[in-house]
Structure 1
Amino acid sequence: MGKVLLTKAGQATIDMRKDDPSLVVTATLEWNGGSATRRRAGADLDLYALYVPRSLVTSPGQRPVKTDQAVYYRQLGSSVAPPYIALDGDSKVPGRETITIRRPDLQGYVLLCAYSAVENGTGSFKSYGAQVVVTDGRGSTVAVPLFNNRNLSYWVAIALIDFNVPGGVEIRHVEKYSGNHVEARPTLYSSGTFRMSTGKIEFKTR
């Protein structure tokens, strides 16, 4: 597929054989901290992967259930055992954090979110120069930018990875923000839908 830059509410599908045991999908949160003033004020962002295993996915018409499963800086996950989703670590300065997703045949949905540490102060995720980049390591790369300058949110849901698409994996630009100064993270449901500001409360200082 090559390189694709998603538009607002856009989506792209990476063609792949999900039964290929060597297939690895990576999702990276990149941010440069924005301006020098913004970096001095604080630029500690955290990548979260909220996920639904394929075994828990509900079909259309079934009642979806919410899930609390997440890989993030306090729960790094595993690439060799369930959930086969792992975070490489916690970067407290501008840079990148990467989620590695293996065994796509066992995955349902992965919602990629970013959290801004309270001590960063106010400032939009866009002002940090944040975006998510998803790749299959085989020449397909999907960049998911942010378009809105929402200054008072600690959370943003950036992209949804849908492993239920026949013959491939779909990446969708979702860009939804939490309420002003709300610490509760998003909630992902077994249908792939999600709600902001309704999940577990996180509080992190730099």
Structure 2
Amino acid sequence: MSKDDPGLVVTATLEWNGGSAARRRAGADLDLYAFFVPGSLVTPQGKRPNKTDDVVYYRQLGSLSVAPYMALDGDSRVPGRETVTIRRPDLQGYVLLCAYSAVENGTGSFKSYGARAVVTDGRGSTVTVPLFNNRNLSYWVAIALLDFTVPSGVQIRHVEKYSGNHVEARPVLYSSGNFRMSTGKVEFKTR
């Protein structure tokens, strides 16, 4: 497998069963986000990186046939799954996969939703992340960082970092592949 392999397709799936009946009644809307840096905007080592606001999520589903060559399959507002598919590894730089717990859910940890993420390149490299954090007031989790700058095509790194209590600000991805939690735009999903 190499970066120039047109058949390389990465999929990332956020799955959740809603946890308990009480949790499902209170709300169990999770959202998968794919923050990204196109390959043409990756900052060379030693240069100052830039923040990116580029993201595929429920309000911006993306496209597999034109840039950004990644797309989310839709918005599940109830327990289920959301999947983002990423193509054209030769045009990708970095992708940070995150999950957001809609504020309308009230308090509840990612663990209480029965959530997990599965990221695979379809070629034998798969990362499964059960989201076991018990903090009821963490609205964001950065799950995995996909590095498309490596010669082999993609490196999937498990990062699993959670936002602070009551922090609704998104994570921020930089053009160097680094990221920071709780420093981006404030998210507030309403029906």
SS at match of 2:24: helix
TM (norm. structure 1) is 0.88
- Aligned counterpart in structure 2 of residue 50 of structure 1, from 1, 26, 35: 35
- Aligned counterpart in structure 2 of residue 145 of structure 1, from 109, 115, 130: 130
- Aligned counterpart in structure 2 of residue 199 of structure 1, from 176, 184, 190: 184
Counterpart of 1:186? 171
Which residues of 2 match residues 14-33 of structure 1 at below 5 A? 16-33=1-18
Q: Distance in 2 between matches of 1:173 and 1:135?
A: 12
SS at match of 1:51: strand
TM (norm. structure 2) is 0.94
Alignment of 1:39 onto 2:30? no
Number of residues paired by the alignment? 191
Counterpart of 1:5? none
Query: Which amino acid is 2:151 matched to?
Result: P
What is the root-mean-square deviation of aligned Cα atoms in Å? 1.4
Q: Distance in 2 between matches of 1:32 and 1:166?
A: 37
Counterpart of 2:162? 177
Q: Percent identity?
A: 85
Which residues of 2 match residues 96-175 of structure 1 at below 5 A? 96-175=81-160
Q: Distance in 2 between matches of 1:195 and 1:136?
A: 25
Gaps of 5+ in 1: 1-15
Deviation at 1:85, TM superposition (A): 0.9
Alignment of 1:81 onto 2:66? yes
Deviation at 1:138, TM superposition (A): 3.9
Gaps of 5+ in 2: none
Deviation at 1:165, TM superposition (A): 2.0
Q: Distance in 2 between matches of 1:179 and 1:90?
A: 25
Deviations 1:6-27 (A, max 9, x none): xxxxxxxxxx222122221111
Deviation at 1:141, TM superposition (A): 2.7
Which moved further from structure 2: 163-172 or 61-70? 163-172
